[in-house]
């Protein structure tokens, strides 16, 4: 196991133990077994390291561990078969750290890191998994369909209920967040209003 992954696990476990919002959403797996995954490179790994945005002393250790491990990650291209897949993938990326296709196996949850570059709008999407975002650095405007939007900063969380449409807008800053899923862990996100995408 690459020590960069071990550090991610240590810092994720520490944050789950520190923050009630995380431990209430899902227990941290006891002994998430290491498993081999193939790295899938993404230029966003470099972008994330070059301009991670502001953070706090509490969020910095996991944020820094996720940046260090980013070259090892299996970066996803979730929307590649959609009209805006390429554009989205140039600005938004994610890799999994805990769960089905992650360096640490877990059955009851999935944990990801997401990075979104400044000045991008990730349109409304939804998925059956319940979701908790924890902002680690930078900031972003989190939208929930019909409920307006809120700017979230390091240490802030956003909860998305099952199939509740949500969107993410970055302005001057990028955002790095730790994202947890529980419930239906296998159904991918889809755009809520695909007809509006061009």
Q: What is the DSSP letter of 195?
A: G
User: In whole angstroms, how close is the CB of 147 to Fe ion at the nearest point?
Assistant: 15
User: Which residues does 195 contact at the CB level (< 8 Å), separation at least 6?
Assistant: none
What residue number has its CB nearest to Fe ion? Answer: 131
User: In whole angstroms, how close is the CB of 126 to Fe ion at the nearest point?
Assistant: 7
User: In whole angstroms, how close is the CB of 181 to Fe ion at the nearest point?
Assistant: 8
Nearer to Fe ion, 16 or 110 (CB): 110
Nearer to Fe ion, 72 or 132 (CB): 132
Nearer to Fe ion, 49 or 185 (CB): 185
User: In whole angstroms, how close is the CB of 118 to Fe ion at the nearest point?
Assistant: 20
Kindly tell me the number of DSSP H helices and DSSP E strands found in the chain.
Answer: 5, 10
Binding residues for Fe ion, rule: CB under 5 A, are 131
Of 74, 92, 60, the closest CA to residue 167 belongs to 92
User: Which residues does 171 contact at the CB level (< 8 Å), separation at least 6?
Assistant: 118, 119, 139, 140, 141
Bridge partners, 107 (sequence order): none
Nearer to Fe ion, 23 or 187 (CB): 187
């Amino acid at each position: 196991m690459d020590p960069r992954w071990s550090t991610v696990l240590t810092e994720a476990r520490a944050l789950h133990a520190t923050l009630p919002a995380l431990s209430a959403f899902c227990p941290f797996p006891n002994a998430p077994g290491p498993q081999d995954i193939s790295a899938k490179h993404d230029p966003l790994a470099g972008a994330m390291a070059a301009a991670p945005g502001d953070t706090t002393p509490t969020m910095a250790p996991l944020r820094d561990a996720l940046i260090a491990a980013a070259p090892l990650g299996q970066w996803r291209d979730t929307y590649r078969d959609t009209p805006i897949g390429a554009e989205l993938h140039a600005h938004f990326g994610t890799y999994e750290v805990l769960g089905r296709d992650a360096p640490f196996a877990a059955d009851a949850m999935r944990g990801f890191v997401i990075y979104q570059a400044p000045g991008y709008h990730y349109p409304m999407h939804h998925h059956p998994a319940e979701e908790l975002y924890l902002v680690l650095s930078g900031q972003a405007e989190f939208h929930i369909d019909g409920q307006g939007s809120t700017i979230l900063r390091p240490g802030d969380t956003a909860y998305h209920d099952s199939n509740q449409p949500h969107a993410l807008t970055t302005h001057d800053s990028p955002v790095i967040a730790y994202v947890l899923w529980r419930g239906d862990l296998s159904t991918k996100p889809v755009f809520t209003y695909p007809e509006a995408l061009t």
